[in-house]
């Protein structure tokens, strides 16, 4: 059976072709048959069509965040529903201080009228005006149209990034704020990391950082995956932006829910400017889906090795 699309499917839709091939080999119905690449490509076409139908039927769950959740928030909600009602479902409209893990359950992305760059989420965030301009609307539509996996919106954001991880890494990370630790407590790790970035800050920096990090963690989880923690303050505390890193050689008990943290990225935003921060936080979120790279990082013996591996996150 000839299939004129086989070559194109194998080249441009390799994931679907491999899925079709995998499903066929596990189904008893096909055990006695040896299907050709042309026949597998036809089955892949059916998978692709089903996927498109699912995308058309499914609505993405959106959380709308404004300063208080009232007033202008309702204006933004109405605008989103009028323009994107066929694509999205608004699960809730909340204020900044109402953000918590419960509110984030099942959410595909956030639309916010306030700057949330000081908080890290493992879902995409679109910052818009309360009037939701046509340009902002098109950006959201464009991202939704390319959404075919749980990470696609994040990848879309990466494509529009103005800076690369390589360009900004050395402005945030340093050898002095990099540690390989074992047999330590959560409190010891946090204090050590905060101290490592406090050199040019005021006397209150360490205390304020620790207090603000507690407030941030009380809002929603700062754990990504099972083994990565990204503690950071509710708002910028320092005059300079930093990342401090701890690679844990055994297991760090963070809390009852996360007893085996392996990598800690402590983030401190600057009260002045944070150019390149979204690129770095995006890379850390992507690292969650790279267990092999995590293991390589944990085997690092130097900051230089860690730096080289961090660059690989966005190169995969």
Q: What is the pTM of this model?
A: 0.67
From residue 92, alpha-carbon distances to 67, 127, 214, 248, 268 in Å are 14, 16, 25, 38, 29
pLDDT above 60 (res 23): yes
- Give the angle subtended at the CA of 85 by the CAs of 82 and 89, to the nearest 5°: 130
> Which region, left, alpha or beta, applies to residue 276 given φ > 0 means left and ψ of -120 to 50 means alpha?
left
Report the half-sphere exposure of 227 (CA within 13 A, side-chain side): 19
For the cut 90, the answer to whether the pLDDT of residue 126 exceeds it is yes
CA 30 from centre of chain? 39
How far apart, in whole angstroms, are the C-alpha atoms of residue 241 and residue 243? 7
Residue 219 to residue 230: CA distance in whole angstroms:
14
Output the pLDDT for position 149: 43
- Domain architecture of the chain: domains with CATH: 5-57 (no CATH), 60-146 (3.40.50.2300), 165-313 (3.40.930.10)
pLDDT given at position 119: 87
Q: Which of 176, 307, 300 is nearest to 244 (CA)?
A: 176
On the question of pLDDT at 27 being above 90, the answer is: no
What tens digit of pLDDT does each residue of 172-221 get? 999 999 999 999 999 999 999 999 999 999 999 999 999 999 998 888 88
């Amino acid at each position: 059976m000839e299939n004129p699309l086989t070559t194109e499917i194998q080249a441009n839709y390799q994931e679907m072709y491999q899925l079709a091939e995998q499903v066929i080999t596990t189904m008893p119905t096909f055990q006695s048959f040896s299907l050709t690449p042309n026949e597998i490509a036809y089955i892949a076409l059916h998978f692709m069509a089903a996927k498109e139908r699912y995308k058309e039927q499914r609505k993405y769950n959106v959380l709308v965040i404004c300063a208080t959740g009232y007033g202008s928030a309702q204006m933004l909600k109405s605008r989103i529903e009028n323009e994107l009602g066929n694509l999205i479902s608004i699960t809730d409209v909340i204020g900044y201080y109402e953000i918590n893990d419960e509110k984030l359950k099942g959410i595909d992305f956030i639309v916010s009228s306030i700057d949330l760059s000081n908080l890290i989420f493992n879902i995409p965030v679109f910052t818009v005006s309360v009037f939701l301009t046509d340009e902002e609307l098109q950006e959201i539509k464009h991202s939704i149209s390319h959404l075919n996996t749980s990470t696609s919106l994040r990848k879309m954001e990466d494509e529009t990034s103005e800076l690369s991880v390589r360009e900004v890494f050395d402005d945030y990370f340093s050898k002095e704020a990099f540690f390989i630790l074992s047999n330590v407590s959560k409190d010891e790790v946090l204090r050590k990391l905060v101290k490592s970035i406090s050199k040019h800050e005021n006397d209150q920096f360490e205390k304020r950082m620790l207090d603000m990090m507690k407030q941030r963690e009380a809002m929603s989880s700062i754990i990504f995956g099972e083994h990565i923690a990204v503690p950071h303050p509710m708002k910028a505390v320092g005059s300079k932006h930093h990342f401090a890193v701890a690679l844990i050689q055994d297991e760090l008990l963070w809390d009852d829910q996360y007893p085996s943290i392996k990598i800690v990225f402590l983030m401190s935003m600057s009260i002045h400017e944070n150019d390149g921060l979204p690129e770095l936080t995006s890379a850390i979120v992507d690292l969650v889906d790279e267990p092999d790279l995590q293991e390589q990082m944990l085997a690092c013996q130097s900051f230089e090795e860690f730096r080289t591996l961090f660059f690989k996150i966005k190169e995969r």
